[in-house]
Amino acid sequence: MEEMNGAEILVKCLEDLGVRHIFGYTGAAILPVFHALEKSDIGIIINSNEQSAAFSAAGYSRSSSEVGVAIVTSGPAITNTLTSVADAYGDSIPMLVIAGQVPEHKIGTDSFQHINVKGIFGEAAKKVIQVSNDDDLESIIKDAYYFARSGKPGPVVIDVPLDKQQKMHEYRDMNVMRFEESYHDDRHLCEEQCAEFFRLLLNSKKPLLYLGGGLNSEAGSKAIREFNERFNIPSVNTLLAKGVVDERNELNLGMLGMFGTPYANMLIQENDFFFAIGVRWDDRVAEKVGFAIGTDIAYIDINPEKMHQIKIERGPKFTFIGDAATAIRDLLNYAKRYSITLDIHEWQERARFLKRSWPLDYNRESKKIQSAEVMALLANYVDGNTKITTGVGNHQMLAAQYLPMQKAKSFMTSGSFGTMGFSLPTAIGVCYANPDARVIAIDGDGSLKMNMGELHTIASLDLPVRILMLNNQSDGMVQNLQDAAYGGARTGTQRPKDVCFADIARSFGFSYTARVKDRSDLKESIETFLSSEGPCFLEVCTDSEEVLYPKVPAGGAYKDMILGPYIKQVSSTSACDRSDLSERPDLLKADGISVNISNIE
433 and 351 co-located in one domain: no
228-286 pLDDT per residue, tens: 999 999 999 999 999 999 999 999 999 999 999 999 999 999 999 999 999 988 776 76
Per-residue pLDDT at 286: 62
220 and 161 co-located in one domain: no
Per-residue pLDDT at 266: 94
In a domain, 272, yes or no: yes
The strand pairing partners of 235, in sequence order, are 209, 252
In a domain, 310, yes or no: yes
Q: Which of 357, 383, 406 is the last residue of a domain?
A: 357
Q: Taking residues 460-472, report their average pLDDT.
A: 97
Q: Which of 521, 541, 561 is the last residue of a domain?
A: 541
62 and 149 co-located in one domain: yes
DSSP assigned state of 106: G
28-64 pLDDT per residue, tens: 999 999 999 999 999 999 999 999 999 999 999 999 9
Per-residue pLDDT at 599: 38
21 and 163 co-located in one domain: yes
156 and 75 co-located in one domain: yes
Cα dihedral 186, 189, 192, 194 in deg (nearest 10): -160
Number of domains in the chain: 3
436 and 294 co-located in one domain: no
Query: Is the pLDDT at 595 greater than 90, yes or no?
Result: no
Residue 302: strand, helix, or coil: coil
CATH for 348: 3.40.50.1220
In a domain, 17, yes or no: yes
382 and 485 co-located in one domain: yes
- The residue count of the chain comes to 601
In a domain, 592, yes or no: no
> 3-state SS string over 152-186?
CCCEEEEEEEHHHHHCEEEECCCCHHHHHHHCCCC
User: Are 44 and 22 spatial neighbours (Cβ–Cβ below 8 Å)?
Assistant: yes
Which range of residues forms the domain containing residue 40?
A: 2-182
361-413 pLDDT per residue, tens: 999 999 999 999 999 999 999 999 999 999 999 999 999 999 999 999 999 99
34 and 159 co-located in one domain: yes
157 and 242 co-located in one domain: no
Of 587, 555, 559, 563, the closest CA to residue 268 belongs to 559
CA distance 183 to 101: 29
124: Cβ contacts below 8 Å, ≥ 6 apart = 82, 85, 86, 89
Of 310, 271, 277, the closest CA to residue 189 belongs to 277
196 and 177 co-located in one domain: no
* Mean of per-residue pLDDT scores for the chain: 92
CATH for 526: 3.40.50.970
208 and 90 co-located in one domain: no
73-113 pLDDT per residue, tens: 999 999 999 999 999 999 999 999 999 999 998 888 888 98
Q: Which of 308, 324, 357 is the last residue of a domain?
A: 357
> In the chain, what percentage of residues exceed pLDDT 90?
82
The strand pairing partners of 530, in sequence order, are none
